[in-house]
Structure 1
Amino acid sequence: MTRINLVLFLSSLAVCTYSQTMTKTIIDFCSPSEPNSCGPGGKCMELSLGNRCECPFGLMGRRCQRPCQDVYKSCARWKSEERCHWTRPISPFFADNCALSCGQCKNNGKQLALALPPILDNIEWFVGRWESKTSAHHRFPEPMSGPYKEILDVQISEVPSFDRPPVNISVRAETLDGTDVHVEFGFLTSKPFHEDTGFVELNKPDEGDDLVSIELVTNTGLMLIEEGTVRGTQIRLETKYKKGMAGVFRDEIVKSKRMFNLINANSLEERVVMVDGRGVTTKWLKRYKKVFNYMTDLIPTPVEKKRKSL
């Protein structure tokens, strides 16, 4: 390569490099311009890595709605490694997820049985035990033999260490005459568009969708992967992978989509569209009622954890 060509190449490379925009995601839990963004008694603190709530005694998190506790089981070890201290100018991860161990708040004697990680706040509304009763046999991922009752259980999972935390999903449907039972087990993971990965990102748009995925296995021999988006209190899903156990006959479903939509704090609806191998499209709507809320399932804090917060 001649000297002139080399200079031209380096110049074009420099133009390409400087045309890129480098950003680091900043996530605000509150806004000083919104008086109630930290709930009664809370105060929004403006911080360089994202605004956070200064909460009344015993509380933490967005809107100061959750009891003060650690999310990850590794928080005590991370504190002993001084991660609460040396990571503070870099990332709010440990302050957010190990609030008790890192001294961000003090426990008042009560905590959730399991804490929901802040990265899953976008699906908090979906967490809970939901019940439904139908007058028809239509059901995802496979139909029942007749009308049925169903329990959809979306539970917080224990988070031991670094990883993308899920929520556990279990579903049990039983026909009203008790002759047909379908059970599914799996988990849901979410990837918020605004996520603090700890890295600088290139040319990232200002806005985008929160992504979500559900993986399920069934007692009828199916393995499923659904992918979609979360917008507000609505989850849209499309089946991306389905594998059936060999030797089990079932109607072929070539395409399926469904949507969960929160009607109010205690009412949820599921809308499903399925297309079979003959090209026939079936649509239906099912409504659930919340019968248990894991986000208010408070238990006494173990004695050793209360001592740490004092």
Structure 2
Amino acid sequence: MLRKNGTEKMHVDMKTRSMTSGCLERSVSWWFNLDVGNNINSSLNSLPLHPDVAHLEWLLGHWESKTLGQGTYPTIKSFHYHEQANFTHCGQPLLDYAFYAFHGDTGRPLHREVGFLRPRAGTDQIALIGAQNTGLSIVEEGEVRGKEITLTSHSVSRITFGKEPRVVKTKRILSLDQDGKLRQCFSMATSNQEMRPHLEITYCRLSQMLSRVTEKWDMVL
């Protein structure tokens, strides 16, 4: 299948899907959905970007890892992974985000996280409200400095039957480098480990949402 923008060619059979793009080459299992970000973007491109999130426009779009990300922690075996990152908006004063990670060798689904980035109007403050398939629900707060966001957990909740050791604190940095690549560094502390680096990955943008900033906004959230 050749996409309309001509940037990706995909060959699909019952078991595997091979994708070649200017950003990444790999073979992954058939369930790896590379259309998620583009489908979302297509339906929202016509909406104006709320002025309260205009300074976050650099995040908008569909991103994928160019090289394998690295996962480490004292209590687990180190691993490598691919990841999609989608940042979209629906005209409200916040961004929707989603991260979908897959094992670097097998393509097996790993961590998944969805949520919102909500800035405090007129300030550098920002909050992340997220839910993970590991059973965690996290509220992180921090600051936006240019094209870098630093967040530290304000609260971490989990399901009652979650595995030990439990996550008790998180920290992450999202930043855009001079080459236009997005980087995410995620650290965490657990019930038996102090704050340590856990995940680090770099993404390149495959598509970007078109947005318009409106000065007059009737909707109040």
Secondary structure, counterpart of 2:70 in structure 1: coil
Matched, 1:182 2:111: yes
Q: Which residue of 2 aligns with 1:103?
A: none
The whole-number CA distance in structure 2 between the counterparts of 1:294 and 1:260 is 18
Match of 1:154 among 87, 105, 109: 87
Matched, 1:254 2:183: no
CA RMSD of aligned residues (A): 2.7
Deviation >6 Å, runs of 4+: none
Distance 1:182 1:275, change over 3 A: closer
5 Å matches for 1:1-310? Answer: 112-132=45-65, 133-134=67-68, 136-138=70-72, 146-159=79-92, 165-176=93-104, 177-193=106-122, 209-264=123-178, 266-283=180-197, 285-295=200-210
What is the percentage of aligned positions where both structures have the same residue? 25
Larger strand percent:
2
Provide TM-score, normalisation by structure 2.
0.65
Q: Is the 8 A contact 1:270 1:285 kept in 2?
A: yes
Secondary structure, counterpart of 2:49 in structure 1: coil
Larger helix percent:
1
Ranges in structure 1 where 5+ consecutive residues have no aligned partner: 1-110, 160-164, 194-208, 298-310
Secondary structure, counterpart of 1:248 in structure 2: coil
Provide TM-score, normalisation by structure 1.
0.47
Q: Which residue of 2 aligns with 1:10?
A: none
How many residues end up aligned between the 2 structures? 164
Letter matched to residue 131 of structure 1: E
The whole-number CA distance in structure 2 between the counterparts of 1:144 and 1:192 is 42
